[in-house]
Amino acid sequence: MKIGILSDSHTRSDYTELVINHLKESGAQYLIHAGDLCIEDNLKLLQNSKLVYVTVFGNNDNALISLSSKYKIKKEPYYFKIKDVKFKLMHLPFYLNADSDIVIFGHTHKFECSYNNGTLFINPGEVCAREKPLSEAVLLEINENEYIINYYYKDINTNNFKKEEFKYER
């Protein structure tokens, strides 16, 4: 199973579109957005991807509250399952206790991944390239015995994504 994970799009729907397309081309079957979509255009891109997606409100998403039912935006922390894997999704990194198989968060605009006491923690970094000139995302592959995290990043002045891979035994 392959899951595209992104966060912190802010007003950069152009970068969001590039990231979603790259994740789909890389085999993503689902999309998870960890908040700060900020504008409806980013929600439309998730919806138009034709993939099953889930997203939560970020601290900059107040203007999207009225669209919560149209785009199924959830309040954090949001718990859900994909197949037999339990996820916790949030924007702010305030609920980082290990009460799920995978904890996904955003807000810091910095890529992180770690595996502690049976829980995988992922922050995909930022789509918007606000803190640095990189647009970032993660493709998480879940296999029976391992997690493979492909961290993708693209300099906003180039055309190609680069990749770093991390593996953890489940």
- Residue ranges of E strands in 7-94: 30-33, 52-56, 73-74, 78-82, 85-89
Range in 9-13, 91-95, 112-116 the model is least confident about: 91-95
- Each residue of 2-32: pLDDT tens digit? 999 999 999 999 999 999 999 999 999 999 9
pLDDT score of 17: 98
CATH class of 2-169: alpha beta
pLDDT score of 168: 97
pLDDT score of 94: 83
At 39 the three-state DSSP class reads coil
Range in 91-105, 110-124, 141-155 the model is least confident about: 91-105
